[in-house]
Structure formats: structure tokens, C-alpha cells
Structure 1
Amino acid sequence: MSTITQLPIPTHFDPYKVGEVWRVPYQTRAIEAKAWANQQGLTPATDDRFRVCLLAIDVQNTFCIPGFELFVGGRSGTGAVDDNVRLCEFIYRNLGKITTIVATMDTHSAMQIFHSVFWVNQAGEHPPAMTMISLEDVEQGVWQANPAIAPDVTQGNVERLQAYALHYVRQLNQHGKYLLTVWPYHSMLGGIGHALVSSVEEACFFHAIARQSQTQFEIKGGNPLTENYSVLKPEVLIDHEEQAIAQSNTPLLERLLTYDAVIIAGQAKSHCVAWTIDDLLTGIQATDPVLAQKIYLLEDCTSPVVVPDVVDFTEQADAAFQRFVDAGMKVVRSTDPIEQWAGMRF
């Protein structure tokens, strides 16, 4: 086994600031990162013989900062903040071993199928956040698509909008997905909630300069007609007329599978993380099931959606991770030396 060579954590990292929003001092960090690389003997990522990708899913303010729209507290109430302290420390300790960081960005606008303005009842009222809309609700007219948004969603065709709304919840029902959830407006493009958590952004930037490896960003979730929990595939791909409305992110899937190891962290374990891994597993099984063995899940850098007295997805998240392990993936902890993980060959 390789010698364990965890790096010290740079002095600029402050774990007590992880739950806050602030401006990263890029120029200062760039100078420090270059000096840190020289001091620690780090080489450019292009020299890596064993190539490692860290896939950081939706590590954005909207999910990770207390008081923001969809803070993922987990059962502890501080889940995402604690997760990101460990994620930042993991990046810094393993700066010389992480070849590439890929950050996914949940990206929304107001008029999308999972936001209140998309739906109305017979009184013209919008559903409150966290309303679950079932197939029966739409079939019985409890909720219908809001005709006023048709110009922005279906080129003014109200009939098509209503037909699609029914088709959408029917597709979710047929494929065993979660009920359509009306989420609070979140991760809005152009807003503060959309940005990466400042401490994580700083760690990614520091890695980019120290290893001369550009952080890669994957935008998802902008299609008004479908949810997009997974960065690899929207929930619904075709409309009620069998026309394509979206497509799978095959280029990212293929790129991830070129790495010798892919490490996955982020939010939320029960939703965007679990469904991204599920789609990754589907792609792996269609290619070569053995490839699942090079996927590592950072269990202490992700938390499930828990809204006290409303919903708790902890058990579903844990069941999904067990299924991934059964398929050959590995659940690991960020605090354990990466050289000790089975399959790592530095």
C-alpha cells in the first residue's frame, strides 16, 4: 500500500465560516496556492498516474447555509454545514491526489414545474411550498397548470400546457418516482442562493491554482417542464406527444468513467446525490458493471432532506446507498486516509 501522505490544512481555512456567505479573496489565495504547491511538492494534475475526480453535487448556498431556502439540516439540524467542513478539509488534505473537481449547479427560474406559480386550484390559489402533487390531484382537478404562464412555457398554448402537466405527473407515477414536490423558490439563477458555498468555492479555487486543474461546472435544472435532481438525466425526457423536451448528460457520464476513481459528495443525499448516483450506476451497468468498484461515496459529506414534522427522507437515502454498495460502489469517510480505501492505487 502507498505511504499515507495527508497534507496539512492551510491556515486560511476557518471551519467556523463554513456556514456563512462571504467573498473569496481570489488574488491572495492564488498567490498562496502557488506557494503552497511549491512548499508541499505538488505537481500539476496532468502528471497524475492515478486520476481521481471529486464530484461535488449542488454544494450551493440555497442548500447549505442555515436560513436559506432549502437548507439540508438532516436529523441533526446542522447537516450540510458539518458536511462542508469535512468536505473542505478533505479537499485540502488530499490536494495532491484529487485530479479534477466537478461541481454541479442546481439552476432555476421562477416558472418551473416544481414551483408554486406553475400550479393553481379552482380558486386560482397557488400551492404552498412542500405541497405534494399526485397523479390523482391533477386528474381530479385539485391542481392544474396555471394558464397565465403558458406564454413563457408553451408559447401561449394553454391546452398543451394542461396536457403536459397531466402527462408529467403520470410519468412520475409510472416510473416509481417521488411525488411531484412544490419546492420553495430556490437556487435562483442570478441570486445569492445559486452560488457555491464560499468556503467550498475557496477550496476548489485553491485546488485549481495549486494543481493547475480547472474546476469544472455542470449546470442542471433550468428546464421549466421537468425536475432535474440528477445531473445526468432529467426526470422526464419526452412530452405527451412523444417529443423530446430534454436529454441525458451523456458527455458527463462518459467523462466521469475515464477516471480511475470518482468520489461523490454534496446535497442532498436523498435527492440530487442519490439520483445522480442512481443514473451513474445505470450507465455503468450498461457499460461494464465492474466499473462500479471505482465509485466512492463520502457518507460524512452528505445529508438527507429532513423537514421536522413534515418529511424525513433519511431511510430512503440510506436504502439508496445500500443499493449502491450492493452494486459494487464503496461507502467511505472523508476523515480516513484516501490511500487506505480499497482500490486506490497512488
Structure 2
Amino acid sequence: MSLPSIYDPNRVGKVYRAYTTTAITEGMAAGHKPASQDDPRVLVMLVDAQVDFIHPEGSLSVPGAVEDTRRTVEWIYQNVGGITKIMASLDTHIPFQIFYPTWWIDEDGNHPAPYTLISAGEVDQGKWKPTLMEDWSVRYVHQLEEGSKKVLTIWPYHTMLGTEGHIIMPALREAISYHAGARQTQPDLYVKGTIPQTEHYSILEPEVKVPGETLGIVNEDLLKQIASYDRIFVMGQAKSHCVLETVTSMVRYYAEHDPEVIKRVTLFDDGMSSVA
């Protein structure tokens, strides 16, 4: 199908106020059947398609992400009549989190620079000390290395709640809105990453489980919702981190509970890139 008039490929990599009303209105006029009538039912999972990961000046910009987003937007428009639901995650952070410089100091009281790796051994030796939740933080770096096989990475401040970097790229947001109007269905938006005590790459679970937190465990309700679709397309940023961990969570859960679901999952490789 031809691309709708609202789409301008030259705007894909830019930050602007999304033309939401136009997108929904144009979608409603496109003449598609309601998504409720779909058979098969098709889910699109957009992982962290946000300004800070995609815009070239984003605080954690992924090389190639603008072109990934252009291909994703065009694919959604071209297949809008066959997409039942669009689900999008929003990586969402606040100033004091365990993977930010604010949480740690060295022996001289200096905070770590972004991309510093903090190992459990270094914490045990006193090279790095937590400024908050000392007992938890020490356990965390050990559990991260033992369970997730990762060393704690200190990240630049990114996708901070309420900032420009937190929003979905506007051209993609327009495609989501167009789909909503065209198929008479709501998009599902999921916030992740707000728990200060843990990293949360996967949409479906944190790196280390946090007792007492609603999002601190495996999100089985969301996994069951995903499993209700006949085809599942996964795309977004970054392929090496949040997309990878989301797919890993899916494979691990469905392998145990419903292996057939794994066969329905397709990775839209043209819509994702890895952190350099």
C-alpha cells in the first residue's frame, strides 16, 4: 500500500511535536476493518523506541537507530491492515538508580564516569562504595554476576521521566496513532526501569528480582497476553541490550510454560541495532 500523507521520511530522525490528531484522523479514514476481527492476530512489540536511544544527539544514541526507525515506521504503515496490536515499552528512569553515577563513589569520594564497570570484587575491596542501600547494593553486584553473568555498567543519564529524551520518536508515535485510528484499537504502553535498586533491560523482568515491587518480578500477566497472539514481531533498541534481554526472557519463560509460542516470534532485524 502507499504510505499515508502524514508520513515524511525526512522527519523520522527529528524531534518535534507529533501530529497525533492528524495521524488518528487519517487512520480512521483509511477504511481498514477493526482489529477485533483479525484472524490471525498479530502483535508488534516496540522496545524502547525513544529519543535518547534513537536521535543522534540522544544521551545513549544507538548507531543506525534512525534508519532502523525509518524502516520500522514504513513497515507499520505498509502492514497496518494486518497488525492487530502495537505494544511499546518506555525505558523510564529517575536520578538515583543503581546504574547511575549518583549511586556510587570511589575511595576519594568521586562518582564513576559513564561506562565505568563496577565488579563485585571491586566493591568487596572498597574501590567502589554505594551512597544508598549499602547492603542491597553489595548483594546486587554479586547476584548480577552470578545470575545474569554481567558486571554492573554505569550508564549516562538517559530516558529520564518527563524529559524530551523519554518520549517515543515522534514519527514512530504518529505511526502508532495512525494504527490506533485505522484499526480502532488502543496501543499498549509499558513503563519499565523505575525501580532504583536494579537494571531493567527486558520489558518482562528486572536483572535482579526486587521483593515487594510490582515490577520487580517476572511479568507473567504480560507474557500470557503476548502468548495470545498468532504472530509476534519484535523490534526496537538496542539489539544488544533491551531487545536481547526481552527476547531472552520470552524464550526462557515460554520454553518452560508454552514452547509453541517461541515459533510465533519473529525478530524484525531491520528495525534494531546494537550499542557500539
Place the TM-score, normalised by the shorter chain, in its bin: over 0.9
- Which residue, out of 211, 232, 240, partners 2:204? 232
What is the CA–CA distance in structure 2 between the aligned matches of 1:178 and 1:87, rounded to whole Å? 30
Q: Deviations over 1:86-111 (max 9, x none)?
A: 00001000000000000000000000
**Aligned partner letter, 2:184:** Q
The whole-number CA distance in structure 2 between the counterparts of 1:210 and 1:176 is: 41
CA distances 1:101-155 after superposition (whole Å, capped 9, x unpaired): 0000000000000000000012111000010111111011111101xxx4xxxxx
Correspondence for 1:312: none
5+ long unaligned stretches in structure 1: 1-6, 74-78, 151-160, 307-346
1:162 matches 2:134: yes
Q: Provide the rounded CA distance (Å) in 2 between the counterparts of 1:26 and 1:265.
A: 22
* CA shift in 2, pair 1:30/1:244, >3 Å: closer
Pair 1:191-2:167 in alignment: no
- Structure 2 distance, partners of 1:256, 1:170, is 32
Q: CA deviation at 1:210?
A: 0.7
Contact persistence 2:53–2:60 (CA under 8 A)? yes
Distance across 2 between alignment mates of 1:207 and 1:49: 17
Choose from 127, 134, 140 the match for 2:125. 140
Structure 2 counterparts to residues 68-107 of structure 1, below 5 A = 68-73=58-63, 79-107=64-92
Query: 1:298: which partner in 2?
Result: 268
Contact kept in structure 2, 1:237 and 1:244, CA below 8 Å = no
- 1:171 match: 143
- CA distance in 1: counterparts of 2:251 and 2:70, whole angstroms: 28
- Which secondary structure does the structure 2 equivalent of 1:296 belong to? strand
For residues 36-75 of structure 1, the aligned pairs below 5 Å read 36=30, 38=31, 42-73=32-63
Runs (4 or more) in structure 1 with deviation over 6 Å come to none
Task: Give, in whole Å, the separation in 2 of the partners of 1:215 and 1:288.
Answer: 25
Residue of structure 1 in register with 2:259 after alignment:
289
Query: Match for residue 29 of structure 1?
Result: 23
Q: Are 2:11 and 1:17 aligned? A: yes
Q: CA RMSD in A?
A: 1.1
Q: Is 1:128 matched with 2:113?
A: yes
Question: 2: distance between equivalents of 1:300 and 1:184?
Answer: 26
Counterpart of 1:344 in structure 2 is none
% identical aligned pairs: 39
CA–CA distance in structure 2, aligned partners of residues 18 and 249 of structure 1? 32
> 1-side partners of 2:273 and 2:20: how far apart?
29
Residue in structure 2 matched with residue 212 of structure 1 by the alignment: 184
Task: State the one-letter code of the partner of 1:130.
Answer: Y
Give the Cα–Cα distance (whole angstroms) in 1 for the partners of residues 167 and 78 of structure 2: 24
2: distance between equivalents of 1:28 and 1:290? 39
Q: Does structure 1 retain, via aligned residues, the 8 Å contact 2:230–2:264? A: yes
Q: Find the partner of 1:118 among 91, 103, 107.
A: 103
C-alpha contact 1:145 1:165 (8 A) present in aligned 2: yes
* 3-state SS of paired residue (2:80): coil
Q: What residue ranges of structure 2 are gaps of 5+ in the alignment?
A: none
**1-side partners of 2:68 and 2:234: how far apart?**
12
Give the AA of the match of 1:118: W
Contact 2:46/2:88 (CA < 8 Å) preserved in 1? yes
TM-superposed deviation, 1:244: 4.8
Contact 1:103/1:216 (8 A) holds in 2: yes
Q: Distance in 2 between matches of 1:221 and 1:210?
A: 31
Cα distance in 1 for residues equivalent to 2:39 and 2:148:
41
Measured after TM superposition, the shift of residue 250 of structure 1 is 1.2
User: Displacement, 1:12?
Assistant: 2.0
Q: What one-letter code is carried by the residue in structure 1 that aligns with 2:59?
A: E
Q: Which residue matches 1:319? A: none
Amino acid at match of 2:60: L
Query: Post-superposition shift, 1:176?
Result: 4.1
SS of residue matched to 1:196: coil
**C-alpha separation in 1, matches of 2:110 and 2:87:** 40
1:241-294 residue CA offsets vs partner (Å, 9 max, x unmatched):
xx5552221111010000001100000001000000000011110112222110
Helix, strand or coil for the counterpart of 2:56?
Answer: coil
Within 1, Cα distance between the matches of 2:149 and 2:235? 22
Give the structure with higher Rg (CA).
1
TM-score between both structures, scaled by the size of structure 2: 0.97
